[in-house]
Amino acid sequence: MLSLNNIKRSSGATHKKKRVGRGNASGHGTYSTRGLKGQKARSGVSGLKRLGMRKQLLQTPKLRGFRSLQPKNQIVSVALINKNFHDGDVITPESLWQAGLIKNVSSPVKILGKEKLTIKVKFEKVAMSAGVKSQISA
C-alpha cells in the first residue's frame, strides 16, 4: 500500500553534492575547483555575483511603495441616505449594512456628497465630510 512513509524518489532523480576541498586524493583538493587567484577564488563572494543572478534580480519587477495597515473607508453618498432612510432615523454602520449600502460593519464608514440632505437623521459611529457636517449643523 502506498503511504507517506514509504514514498521514495525515483532512481536518478537526486544527485549527491560534490564534496570539494577535501584533499588532493578526491581530485578536487588544493584550489577546490576555483582556479588560482582573483575575486571568485576568495571566500565571501556572493553566489549571486558568481552565478550571474545579479542581472536577473535587477530585471525582475519589484512591488513598490507600501500598503497601509489601516482599512479604507467605506463610502456612502448623501443621495443614498435620502433614498433609504426616513426622518428621525439613527444612522449607524449596522443600519447602513442592513440597508445594503456597505459591505461589512467592522470597516470604517464615511458619508460623502455634494447633494442636499433632505431628511433629518442622526449619525453615530460614522465619519463625515466637511460639507455634510455643515448641512447637519445648519
Q: Tell me the per-residue pLDDT of 98-128, one tens digit each, with 9 for 90 and over.
A: 999 999 999 999 999 888 999 999 999 999 9
Would the pTM count as exceeding 0.75? no
CA distance 63 to 79: 38
The CA distance from 96 to 85, in Å, is 9
Of 60, 89, 113, the last residue of a domain is 60
93 domain-assigned: yes
Domain membership flag for residue 34: yes
DSSP codes of every residue in 17-61: PP--SS-GGGT--TTTTS-SSSGGGSTT--HHHHHTHHHHHHHS-
Are both 93 and 53 inside the same structural domain? no
* CATH number, domain containing residue 94: 3.100.10.10
| Residue 32 falls inside a structural domain | yes
- The residue range of the domain holding 37 is 21-60
Domain count, the chain: 2
The 10s digit of each residue's pLDDT in 42-94 is 888 776 666 677 788 888 898 889 888 999 999 999 999 999 999 999 999 99
CB of 87 closer than 8 Å to CB of 121: yes
